[in-house]
Amino acid sequence: MLPKIFNKAKTGVLPQIALPFILILIIFVSCNNTRSQNTGFKQIPNNQNDTNVIEQQKPQKISEISTPPNFKRIAVDSNSYANYLRNLPIKQENNIVYLYNGKEKYNQNVHYAVLDIDVGDRDLQQCADAVMRVRAEYLYQNKMYEQIHFNFLSDGKPRYYKEYAGNDRSYKKFRKYMNYIFSYANTASLIDEMEIVEFENMQIGDIFIQKKHPYGHAITVVDMAKNSETGEIIFMLSQSYMPAQEIHILKNYNNQEISPWYSTSFANELRTPEWTFYKKDLRRFIDK
């Protein structure tokens, strides 16, 4: 509804105060119409002389997500799993998390960005499955086939990719193997094949994981950085969830100033948008 001062305009009499009000209203409406939507990506000044001009930053991979001031990403080996995670691609066409059936996730406010990794068309690639998927992708792409194995929940024994695939090294066969694993493994089986990590020794690639009844949860540390002045360590997390959905980078509701980064300077509880973990929940894949 228009303000009451506009009523007199109908009679041809417009008070002097109305004119500046109209100008302010026009400017306000124009700004709102041109304002970019909040997609979760940070906004930064462009390279033009006018630093007031803002453009949206759309990182193409995790390593292009900005760090807070005075923080620098920790050094990792170029062939390591840590470097692989850090360079996972980010979806560019939109910032929406889709389920396996093509529908949008009910809560679109937990993620900062969506990884450009397919979720499949079955309700399989949930939380622990996403952890296994990313790990297996790294091993597969580096032809470390003998290390691709995950335990079944039923008997606690590993199922090896090489035995399943035989001589077929096609990506299609690899994806079939992963669906096979997703069908019979979960957080309860995954946690038992990992080693406990002291929180102070966290590395990129480590997993926060809990097995509970009926459901547990697992998330991956996909990047880390260090403050050059204070020595503070921060880290970034990715997850899938239930039902099966695209893997995404989590926002940090606890400290929006550094989101999507999380500081290691917390007492005991690691509160993420959809789950709470503890320092004792940190685990690591055992290389064999």
Q: Is residue 288 very low, low, confident or very high in pLDDT (cuts 50, 70, 90)?
A: low
Per-residue pLDDT, 168: 98
Cis ω on the peptide bond leading into residue 3 (within 30° of 0)?
no
Q: Which residue has the higher pLDDT, 66 or 49?
A: 66
CB-CB contact of 261 with 234 (8 Å) = yes
Per-residue pLDDT, 11: 36
Q: What tokens were used for 231?
A: 């020595």
Q: Is residue 20 very low, low, confident or very high in pLDDT (cuts 50, 70, 90)?
A: very low
Could you give the count of Cα atoms lying within 13 Å of 153 in the half-sphere of its Cβ?
A: 12
pLDDT at 25 over 80: no
pLDDT digits (tens, 9 = 90+) for 173-213: 999 999 999 999 999 999 999 999 999 999 999 999 999 88
Per-residue pLDDT, 56: 53
Which residues 6+ apart lie within 8 Å of 169 measured at CB?
Answer: 145
Alpha-carbon torsion, ordered 272, 275, 279, 284, to 10 deg: -100
From the centroid of its chain, how far is CA 181? 23
pLDDT at 163 over 90: yes
pLDDT digits (tens, 9 = 90+) for 228-267: 999 999 999 999 999 999 999 999 999 999 999 999 999 9
With CA atoms as reference, report the closest residue to 282 among 215, 235, 229.
235
Per-residue pLDDT, 58: 86
pLDDT at 55 over 50: no
Percentage of the residues of the chain whose pLDDT score is greater than 70: 80
pLDDT at 226 over 90: yes
pLDDT digits (tens, 9 = 90+) for 114-158: 999 999 999 999 999 999 999 999 999 999 999 999 999 999 999
Average pLDDT, stretch 16-32?
36
DSSP secondary structure letters along the chain: ---GGGGGGGGT---TTHHHHHHHHHHHHHHHHHPPP--S--EEE-SSS-TT-EEE---SBGGGSPPPTTEEEPP--TTSHHHHHHT-BB--S----BBTTSPBPS--SSEEEEBS----SSTT--HHHHHHHHHHHHHHHTT-GGG-EEE-TTT--EEEHHHHHTT---HHHHHHHHHHHHHH--HHHHHTTEEE--GGG--TT-EEEE--SS--EEEEEEEEEEETTT--EEEEEEE--SS-B--EEEP-SS-TTTTTEEES--SSEEEETTEEEEGGGEEEEPP-
Q: What tokens were used for 187?
A: 């957080």
Which residues 6+ apart lie within 8 Å of 287 measured at CB?
Answer: 147
Per-residue pLDDT, 49: 33
Per-residue pLDDT, 287: 78
Average pLDDT, stretch 40-50?
33
Of 24-38, 57-71, 129-143, which range is least confident? 24-38
Please state the domain extents for the chain.
Answer: 4-34, 63-285
